[in-house]
A and B are shown apart, each in its own frame.
Chain A
Amino acid sequence: MVGGYAGKFLNIDLSNEKITETRFQNEILRQYIGGRGLGAKILWDRLGSRWEKVDPLDPENLFLALTGPLTGYFHGARICITGKSPQSNGIIGSTVSGEFAIELKCAGWDGVIISGKAKEPVYIFIDNENAQIKSAKHVWQKDSKTTLKILTKEVKEELDKRYVKYGIQKEPGVLYTGPAGDNRVRVAAVEQKWSHAAGYGGYGAVMGSKNLKAIVAKGTGPLPAVSDLEEVERLMGEYEKIAFSGSRDRIRRWGTGYVGYEVGAERSAEPVRNWQEEWHDEKSIGGPKFDFRYWVKRYWGDYGCALTCMKLAVVKAGPYKGAITDNPDYEMEAYLGPNLGIFDAGGIIYLSSLLEDLGYSGINGGNLLAFTTELFERGIMTKNDLGGLEPRWGDIAAQAELAKRIAFRDGKYFDILAEGTYRAALKISELKGINVLPYAVHVKGVEVGAHGTRSDEDYTHDISYACSVQGGDHTSTVRDAYDDMSTVFHDSAVYCAIIAWAGGLKGVDWQFLRAVTGWDTTEEEWKSELSHRIVHIQRAAELLGGPDIRWNPPKDDDNPPRFYEPLPSGPYKGSVTKREVMGSRRREYYDAMGWDENGIPRSEVLNKLNLQDVDKALDKVR
């Protein structure tokens, strides 16, 4: 087997309770690697011919949890969750950190491919070579912390019984969803360890649609052997040095939440009150505030991570007592803070903790809460619509209640809101006879990450989200169809990009791939060919969309309307994303990708990459 791979994938058909194994040829693995890349390939091969007819929440969709060869070796183990997205109706590769991926690989599996729908709530229990489907009725609709606690205990007790003569075993890894997932809320995440989530894509809802509550894995074997262990160890050392230098050193000490103050105050690129503003000067949510008052652990990392950007935050007194989260990281801080008009550190920890318990993606869910609040503040949605709730900017208790009721689809408007910001906007516009789409801050159904484009001072600009096949995902923004392909690599080799985003690392990722797999894939081959194949498949899936939503570029390869409203406050007051720049940059990007004037991949480009079936399918939208 190629280095870094266990060599086989678990195939589980929940409808027929059938468990088999799948292997891929080495050349397929070399081209698509794993995670997002291999996921796109698997989805296309199995569903591509009828893509536009597959409802993401129907049993025939697939739920994939895939590692990559670098998972477990490269600092920051992650697993990539994918499938047909119930947000974009395309393919989104969404990664989540934690030890589940390590356990899965040590159990002898590179990934899990799930199809069908179980008759009743179930979870999958993987014990090395053996996998079984078990009832999850006792944890269905249970919050994340309770679910994790019950399943960890239950499975560990079973393992201790099975392996009594081996002594105590380490706990299993658990990948799970909360009530929002169980109720197929389209902003539901796939979670690990309370606060770690694969948020973009809405794959918690796909789990819910399959009656799948969790996957629990225990592996007692080693990580799959690598091609050149000495070189892997040397490269691991290189990354340890990075963790203690420059911008990464700051993230190691303070987490990404450190910039919760400065992205607003300095860069004017932080969402404030549903992106009506992007500037604030509220020192109450600065890094030290979280550290001194709430952090009980300052260096928290997953297995093998030297960066430890996570911080364990616990509220020990006051109205939010008992709230626990990681950090909160910048995205949670922005989306559950300023974007809801909240500038109270304890309140942000409380809402982060609550949304995680409910199974939300904090970014997508936070965006949805702000969208709802703006409609209420504008008088478009009423107290009556919201069952007596009055969500106003800064009202932490009302936001908490709103989140709970959407997670359980508790009434007509909560049911509508559970469809995510974009779909809810369409429906509310229809019901109210008012166009509320200008208040929906999404790109192709995916709520946008907490980095604005108007001031041009953050890393996100004009086409960053608009032309990305991952929509509003702030971890996969685009630039030039070359350098931006490194994010496709992170998601396909499957490791945490936080440490890789540092300067001075050029080329190390590729050395890492070579040391682990033995392949001689170069950065050039990846960025100009291999990654493009993956992105073209994602693009085709996105353009075919369906059955309820179809995107229409270039109109939909655009920013949310709000990004064209001049910033009303702060040092960049009056700044706006420029439509003419947007237009020309979009054309440049289409050209660089080999897409035609309507953003459709050109036949000659696809044929050259041996993607004839993708080309044929795209005739339906040409």
Chain B
Amino acid sequence: MVCSLRHEKQIWPEASRIRVFMLVPGVEIPHFCAQCKEYYCVKSCPFNALSVNAKTSAVAVDREKCTACGACIRACPGKIPHIHPKEKYVLICDLCDGDPQCVKVCNKAGYNALRVVREPSSVSHSLFARTPEEITRDVAENLFGEKAEELV
């Protein structure tokens, strides 16, 4: 909610940079940029619309240059970028310029499930860039055991 409130001034699930998939009940999969060091999306962009923010290392989208062609979606191992439902540009988490609102609201509400982690870039980060379907299969087995096969 807070992600779309910050970026869109509205509650807008599909325009949120963090979307929570629920392909199977109970298996909620937050899906957003894994901050990988490879920057597959930036490299794939034919229009130079994507760049790396020097301060945050997050990917920045130039809305003027982006044509919503989808090259970055295809390049991302987790198919994480998605096109804005009403506009002609791609949505990628920008870490709210270093002050992520999702972290703030989670702490304010009392859950403290999210925090800002500062660690050196690592090849491990791209391991988190997976499709909701892939992650769902893993988490479902973790939660439901053998039964997961029937449910997914």
Q: Which residues of A are at the interface with B, using a C-beta cutoff of 8 A? A: 72-73, 99, 102, 106, 145, 148-149, 152, 156, 165-171, 193-195, 219-223, 225, 229, 233, 237, 240, 243-244, 296-297, 299-300, 303-304, 306, 312, 314, 316, 321-322, 324
Contact = CB atoms under 8 A, between A and B. Distances in A.
Contacts of A99: 22
B13 A102 contact: yes
B145 A165 contact: no
A193 B26 CA distance: 8
B110 to A, nearest CB: 4
B25 A168 contact: no
A303 B20 contact: yes
Contacts of B68: 165
A168 B85 contact: no
A138 to B, nearest CB: 17
A297 B26 contact: yes
A79 to B, nearest CB: 16
The 6 closest A-B pairs by CB, nearest first: A167-B82, A222-B12, A220-B85, A222-B10, A193-B25, A240-B109
Given A165-B83, A167-B83, A244 B145 contact: no
Given A167-B83, A220-B14, A303-B13, A233 B5 contact: yes
A221 B86 contact: yes
A167 B147 contact: no
Given A149-B151, A222-B12, A244 B82 contact: no
B1 to A, nearest CB: 6
B77 interface: no
Contacts of A220: 14, 85
Contact of B109 (A149, A243, A297, A314): A243
Contact of B26 (A152, A171, A240, A300): A300
Nearest to B72: A167
Given A170-B13, A322-B146, 5 more contacts: A168-B73, A193-B22, A222-B11, A222-B15, A244-B109
A149 B25 CA distance: 10
A190 to B, nearest CB: 16
A324 B144 contact: yes
B82 A166 contact: yes
21 contacts: A72-B11, A102-B13, A106-B13, A148-B25, A166-B83, A167-B83, A168-B132, A170-B13, A170-B14, A170-B20, A171-B21, A194-B26, A220-B85, A222-B10, A240-B108, A296-B26, A296-B144, A297-B26, A304-B11, A314-B145, A321-B147
Given A167-B83, A171-B21, A243-B110, A314 B144 contact: yes
Contacts of B1: 303-304
A221 B12 contact: yes
B25 A194 contact: yes
Nearest to B147: A322
Nearest to A229: B9
Contacts of B110: 240, 243-244
B51 interface: no
A324 B151 CA distance: 11
B11 A223 contact: yes
B4 interface: yes
B138 interface: no
Contact of B143 (A170, A219, A297): A297
A147 B83 CA distance: 30
B100 to A, nearest CB: 17
Given A168-B132, A306-B109, A221 B85 contact: yes
Given A322-B147, A324-B147, A312 B12 contact: no
Contacts of A219: 14
Given A165-B83, A225-B10, A237-B108, A314 B15 contact: no
A167 B73 contact: yes
Q: Most chain-B CB neighbours within 10 Å: which of A72, A149, A166?
A: A166
A291 B56 CA distance: 40
B23 interface: yes
A314 B143 contact: yes
B25 A195 contact: yes
Contacts of A168: 31, 73, 79, 82, 131-132
Contacts of A223: 10-12
B62 interface: no
A243 B110 CA distance: 9
B137 interface: no
A314 B23 CA distance: 18
A165 B109 CA distance: 36
Contacts of B90: 167
Interface in B4-50: 4-5, 8-15, 19-26, 31
A261 B31 CA distance: 39
Contacts of B14: 106, 169-170, 219-221
Contacts of B108: 237, 240
A170 B12 CA distance: 12
A171 B85 contact: no
Contacts of A244: 109-110
Nearest to A171: B23
Nearest to A313: B26
B10 to A, nearest CB: 4
A265 B19 CA distance: 43
A235 to B, nearest CB: 13
Contacts of B23: 152, 156, 171
A324 B86 CA distance: 38
A253 B31 CA distance: 25
B107 to A, nearest CB: 11
Contact of A73 (B4, B11, B73, B150): B11
A82 B55 CA distance: 54
Contacts of B4: 222
A118 B19 CA distance: 36
B14 to A, nearest CB: 4
Contacts of B147: 314, 321-322, 324
B18 to A, nearest CB: 11
Interface string B47-91: 000000000000000000000101001000001011101100010
B104 to A, nearest CB: 11
Contacts of B109: 240, 243-244, 306
A112 B6 CA distance: 31
A166 B4 CA distance: 17
Contacts of B13: 102, 106, 170, 303
